[in-house]
Every structure is written in structure tokens, then in C-alpha cells.
Structure 1
Amino acid sequence: MRTTTGTVPTVVSRVHQVSGEDWVSHRELRLDMLAADPDAFWADPAEARRRDEQQWRAEIAGPRIHLQARSASEVLGGIALLPAGYTPEHPIPADRAHIVSLWIRPAARGTGVSRVLLAALARLSLELGRPDLRLDVDDTNVPAQRLYERLGFTATGNREPREGRGTSWVEYALRAEQLLAD
């Protein structure tokens, strides 16, 4: 996988599962994604900027499992798998997992980093026995919708209005095995 950051081509050397020791790189990626694309995510950018080290480590500890695509020590992008509902009040079926927080640094977009991250996430979901992958995309985020559709995701018809925004989250689904079939 080749990407370009600035003018120097780089290679995705690995997909890394984020641990507490990675809290600084995780924080930097999350703050960059929220600054660049605040409407694409559920998170509040101002709240994220106020967090301290312990709060970042707690986010990494769970329930989400965070992955980063790296070129040597450079973080090109990230994604997370939520193998349970967003809250205990919102359980999901035992075979389902949610994909959240996919974001690729602008210089690495269009180079296949998303596909690498999604494939790693699909393998992880299969290891956890949760092959039914779901994600939500804002109905105005056409580039993300096109990416997911190119990878085989289909809209389920489920929509959830976004409070105070006049847009909706559109749910997409795909079996993990299908994502790995390419």
C-alpha cells in the first residue's frame, strides 16, 4: 500500500491495535479528525480538546477497539470497532458490531488506506464472532457513502435524525466475510 504524505511516498507498514501507551497518537488523530470533519462524527470537538491523559486512556480501554494504519511511526488514519451497543440501553444482536470513526489523513486519502483498515477490522470482527458489520453515515456525506458502496456496503433503510442538524444518519451493512473476499 503506497500513500503520499506531503511529497514523500510512504508505505502502510502495518495496522496497529491502539493500546493505552498509544494515547498521544490516538489523541492527535482524534483531534485532527474532529477539527477537519466535525460533522462526520458523533463526538463533540470541544469536549475532546478538554480531555486529559486519563480520559484518553479510558477511551482506548473500551468498549471500542481502535486501530491505526501506520507508515513506520506516522499514523495515516484510524478506525474503531464497537462490539456492543453504544450504551447498555442500546444493545445490539450478538453477531453484530458497529464500525465507527473511520478517518484518513487528507494526504493519504484515495490510496487504499481505508480498505486496509476495514479489512483489518473485518478480521477482528470475525475473531470476536460478530460478522454482521454496521455503520452510520450522515446523509450529506456523499464521499463516505460512495466509499462504503464501492466496498460492498448497502444501505439498510434505517435512518436516525441528527438532533439540531437537519440531517440523518443512514445505516449501512455488510458481512465481514464479504469485505475480505476482494
Structure 2
Amino acid sequence: MSTTSRTVAQTDRSLRVHRVGIEDWESHRDLRLDMLAADPNAFWADPDEVRARTAQQWRAEIAGPRLHLQARRGQAVLGGIALLPAGYTPEHPIPPDRAHIVSLWVRPEARGSGIARRLFAALTRLSLDLGRPDLRLDVDESNLAAQRLYERLGFTATGERDPRQGRSTAWVEYAIRAEHLLAD
């Protein structure tokens, strides 16, 4: 991150990171639909299934187990990220000190302004509060821009790869200790 971008990110007091509550289901839905429309291959979700969800299903998603955060300037939602402090399913448990980072997305017009860094900082504090300092995320091997962002933040590839069903690419796992992410 350039010095100018870092300064903007640190001094932009109008930008706040908000923990998404059930009452925020509409802004959460709108952000998820926008991210899947803009970058459908970057996420695990099936865009058709997501578009078909009811208000009750959106509220249930927010209720857990994922903890969702949004970057907002006023009422405008500029990006989001989520922390999954358990495995994706009961059949996929994770160690008790680990959490998965999922669903990072920043609106194209807001990219490069430090929003991802602010989202990661808030998510990192949340993971430490939960006693889960071992942070992991998966990124499609073809998503070079995301990989560069994660590497700039200090993430390293673990060597774990998971082929994507129906695609010729794989998910690549990245990891970082939460305290290293906050050190920058």
C-alpha cells in the first residue's frame, strides 16, 4: 500500500466498519448480490441460489455461524468480509484456534482506498477476541489481484489446494497469524 493510500485509510474517519446484525439483512443481501454479479467466479456461492433467498434466509445467514462486517461511509456499503470461526460444515471441523476468512469484496469504485485493510483490521480484532489467531482463507488460483492483496498484507500460501468442482482451477489456501496482520 502506498503512503498516500495508507494515510487516506487512517484518516478517513467517515469510513466505519460495522458488524452486520439481523436488522441489516437488506444491505447484506444487496452487497452479496452485487459481489456475485460482479465477480461470480471468486466465491463459493451459487449466484442463482443466492438470488432466490427469502428475507428469512438472509436473516438466518447473518445469525450465524459467519460473523459479517461491512465497511460503510454514511449509509453506503462499500465492502464486506466475514469470519467463519468453525468449519464450513460439521463434517469439516477446524482446529479450535483457527478461523476462516470468507467473502471479502470491495465495490470496484472504492478499491485502492484502504477499505480492504480496514475490513481485515476489524476482522482480526474479532478473531483475537474469539481466541482464534490462526487465520486462513481460500482464493481461486486465477485471482491474481486478490493473491497480491493477501501477500501485501502478509499472508503466505500454505501449499494446500482444493480443485474447484466443474472448473479447471483450484482454491489455494493462504494463512497468517492475527497478531502479524495487526502489526502493519
Is the pair's TM-score, using the shorter chain for normalization, greater than 0.5?
yes
CA contact (8 A) 1:78 1:102 kept: yes
TM-score by length of 1: 0.94
- Equivalent position SS for 2:128: helix
State the one-letter code of the partner of 1:136. Answer: D
Provide the C-alpha distance between the structure 1 equivalents of 2:15 and 2:116, rounded to a whole number of angstroms.
14
Give the letter for the 2:104 counterpart.
L
2:104 matched to which residue of 1? 102
Contact in 2 for aligned 1:23/1:60 (Cα 8 Å): yes
Name the counterpart of 1:137: 139
| Conservation of the 8 A alpha-carbon contact between 1:12 and 1:69 | no
Q: Secondary structure at the match of 1:110?
A: coil
1:65-120: CA deviations, max 9, x gaps?
Answer: 00000001110000000000000000000000000000000000011100000010
The TM-score, its normalising length taken from structure 2, stands at 0.93
Paired position in structure 1 for 2:167: 165
2:73 aligned residue: 71
Gaps of 5+ in 1: 4-9
Equivalent residues of 1:99, 1:135 under 8 A apart: yes
| Structure 2 partner of 1:22 | 24
Q: Displacement of 1:2 after TM fit?
A: 4.6
1:34 partnered with 2:36 = yes
Measured in 1, the distance between the counterparts of 2:14 and 2:146 equals: 21
Match of 2:58 in 1: 56
Partners of 2:140 and 2:8 lie apart in 1 by: 29
For 1:140, the aligned partner's letter is S
Structure 2: how far apart are the matches of 1:94 and 1:49? Answer: 33
Tell me the equivalent position of 1:7.
Answer: none
Following TM superposition, the consecutive aligned residue runs of length 4 or more in structure 1 with deviations greater than 2 angstroms are 10-13
Shift of 1:13: 2.4
CA distance in 2, matches of 1:51, 1:2: 37
2:125 maps to amino acid? R
Question: Between the two proteins, what is the percent identity of the paired residues?
Answer: 75
For the residues of structure 1 that align with 2:164 and 2:65, how far apart are their CA atoms? 23
2:125 to 110, 123, 126: 123
Q: Give the alignment partner of residue 43 of structure 1, picking from 16, 34, 45.
A: 45
The one of 153, 156, 160 equivalent to 1:154 is: 156
| Matching residue's letter, 2:101 | I
Q: Please, which runs of 5 or more residues in structure 2 have no aligned partner?
A: 1-6
